[in-house]
Amino acid sequence: MKSFDVPVHYRSSIVTAIKQKRKAADKLKKDFTPTILDAGSLQLILARHFGFCYGVENAIEIAFRAIAENPNKRVFLLSEMIHNPGVNADLQTLGVKFIMDTKGNMLMSWDELTSDDIVVIPAFGTTLELEKTLRDKGIEPSRYETTCPFVEKVWNRAEKIGKDGYTIVIHGKPNHEETRATFSHSKANTASVVVKDMEQAQHLAKFITGELPTEQFNTDFKGQYSEGFDVAKDLQRIGVVNQTTMLASETQGISDYLKQVIVNHYQPANIADNFADTRDTLCYATNDNQSAVQGMLETEADLAIVIGGYNSSNTSHLVELCELKLPTYFIKDEYCLESASLIRHFDLHTHTETATNDYLPFKTPLRIMITSGASCPDALVERVMERLAELTGQSGALQTAAAQWQ
């Protein structure tokens, strides 16, 4: 796989050494057991896969290249390039400004842009409508487009099956940048509707079977369907694609469920007449990171720490997986570990940062699981490891354990 020119301060000598040795021993990526660093009374259990993925490294390389190649021009990001506060802050320090926030709210006026400006498209991609807005300004969006190739793969698959006469059902968070982009590209070719979870998929099924009146659809899925959506016609032939950062198992579960609903209702002689096969739209990095967490959870531990931006969808799903088994703390950086008795972390259920006392059990050895989202630099993971070792008095032991991998 291609290597990228990413700023060295995002790299970690410890994590890189571990990843390289694990990769050499498991080239087909079939081993999802974690790596255990034995630092005396502290044992750090690292997921087999975590951190920057192909799409994120590609985006970072392009964004920093855009800055370097245009020293005398204004450089803008359409929105956050990736969901990592540190990386976005680095870009802002270099003078990059955001045009809108992650929800699509404008942070400046389009009138402020000129044809001389540089605009970087984020890794999530963007809508066809926003691409047109930029071109109307004399700005070519594809010049510094960092859209993840695996997001584009979803778009291409949606276009193909859309032109084959299927309606696209998108599993994603309706207000997420990637979902908005995928919805825009999809509806350009066919009727499209977004479902955020299995509950909404089950609700959609009631319109497929006729259990709910068609006129109720417009209210129940407001803002989540394409213009002119015809419930009676457009739900007869469907295909499911996803926001690539969702739980892969949930996307597959939704697809399998809707497929069975179609089979039971229409009883087609050939399932392909009513349901498109879209298994190939699942992102490899999302799959690997989630499988690695599931493999890590087979090991006994006292708590889990998941590192990433609080608005990161893929990171939030890693948190959800860990929460099923043990106390889990979602943190954005090492500074969240204020002391051995106090941690600041994000609560997915209340969507607020909170503080928890006495999060580290008094036991030996203390076993802590660690993973991170796809937009989290390995250097940040290393700093969290070092902070945990510092708080438990095992800094020297961690250095010794890490040296065995280098």
Which H/E stretch holds residue 347? strand 342-347
Residue 293, pLDDT above cutoff 80: yes
Q: What is the mean pLDDT of residues 302-313?
A: 95
Measured CA to CA, the distance from residue 162 to residue 160 in angstroms comes to 5
CATH topology agreement for domains 54-136 and 152-281: no
CA distance 343 to 204: 41
Mean pLDDT confidence for 179-193: 97
pLDDT over threshold 90, residue 346: yes
Confidence band for 103, pLDDT divided at 50, 70 and 90: confident
User: Which one, of 204, 195, 199, lies nearest residue 174 by Cα?
Assistant: 195
Dist CA 214 CA 384 (whole Å): 52
DSSP 149-211: HHHHHHHHHHHHHHHTTPEEEEES-TTSHHHHHHHHHHHTTS-EEEE-SHHHHHHHHHHHTTS
- Report which of 101, 63, 106, 55 is spatially closest to residue 80, judged by C-alpha positions: 101
Q: Half-sphere exposure of 208 toward its Cβ, with a 13 Å CA cutoff? A: 26
User: Which residues have C-beta within 8 Å of that of residue 44, sequence separation ≥ 6?
Assistant: 36, 37, 368, 370, 385, 388, 389, 398
Contacts of 41 (CB under 8 A, 6+ apart): 364, 365, 366, 392, 393, 394, 397
Catalytic residue (choose from 152, 178, 211, 300): 178
Residue from 224, 230, 215 nearest 167 by CA: 230
Q: Is 178 among the catalytic positions?
A: yes
Give the pLDDT score at 406: 84
Place of tokens 């949606």: 158
| Assigned fold of 8-53+285-403 | Cobalt-precorrin-4 Transmethylase; domain 1 (3.40.1010)
Tell whether the model's pLDDT for residue 323 goes beyond 70: yes
Q: How many angstroms separate the CA atoms of 224 and 213, rounded?
A: 18
Share of the chain above pLDDT 70, in %: 100
Write the pLDDT tens digit of every residue in 231-240: 999 999 999 9
pLDDT at position 280 is 67
Q: Residue 302: its pLDDT value, please? A: 98
Average pLDDT (279-306) is: 91
**What's the pLDDT at 75?**
97
Residues facing residue 44 across a β-bridge: 37, 368
Question: What pLDDT does residue 367 have?
Answer: 98
Per-residue pLDDT, 3: 76
Token reading at 156: 């291409």
> Residue 246 in 3-state DSSP?
coil
* pLDDT cut 90: percent of the chain above it: 90
- Predicted local confidence at residue 278, as pLDDT: 83
Predicted confidence band of residue 187 (pLDDT cuts 50, 70, 90): very high
- Predicted confidence at residue 316, as pLDDT, reads 95
- Give the whole-angstrom CA distance, residue 281 versus residue 138: 33
**Span 388-396, mean pLDDT?**
97
111-135 mean pLDDT: 96
Q: Round the average pLDDT of the chain to a whole number and report it.
A: 95
Q: Look up the pTM and report it.
A: 0.90
pLDDT at position 162: 96
Q: Is 16 exposed, middle or buried (0-12, 13-18, 19+ CB in 10 A)?
A: middle
Instruction: Calculate the alpha carbon distances from 221 to 208, 225, 260 in Å.
Output: 14, 7, 22
Residue of 250, 254, 405, 240 whose CA lies nearest to 321: 250
What does the pLDDT look like over 368-377, one tens digit per residue? 999 999 999 9
Of 173-182, 283-292, 374-383, which range is least confident? 283-292
Q: How do residues 217-275 score in pLDDT, each as one tens digit?
A: 999 999 999 999 999 999 999 999 999 988 888 999 999 999 999 999 999 999 999 99
Helix, strand, coil percentages for the chain (3-state, nearest 5): 45, 15, 40
Task: Please name the CATH architecture into which domain 54-136 falls.
Answer: 3-Layer(aba) Sandwich (3.40)
Identify the CA nearest to 386 among candidates 32, 9, 37, 16: 37
Residue 5 pLDDT > 90, yes or no? no
Asked whether the predicted pLDDT for residue 89 surpasses 70, the reply is: yes
Domain ranges of the chain: 8-53+285-403, 54-136, 152-281
State yes or no: pLDDT of 284 exceeds 90. no
Inform me whether the pLDDT recorded for 1 exceeds 70.
no
Q: pLDDT by residue (tens digit) across 7-56?
A: 999 999 999 999 999 999 999 889 999 999 999 999 999 999 999 999 99
As a whole number, mean pLDDT of residues 204-222 equals 97
Q: From the CB of residue 183, how many other CB atoms can be counted at a distance below 10 Å?
A: 24
Nearest to 182 by CA among 150, 135, 205, 222: 150
Please determine, for residue 286, whether its predicted confidence score (pLDDT) is greater than 90: no
CATH among 1.10.1660.10, 3.40.1010.20, 3.40.710.10, 3.40.50.920 for 152-281:
3.40.1010.20
Q: Are 397 and 39 in contact (CB under 8 A)?
A: yes
Average pLDDT over residues 284-309: 95
Residue 283 Cα to chain centre, angstroms? 10
- Contacts of 107 by beta carbon, 8 Å cutoff, 6+ apart: 97, 98, 99, 100, 101
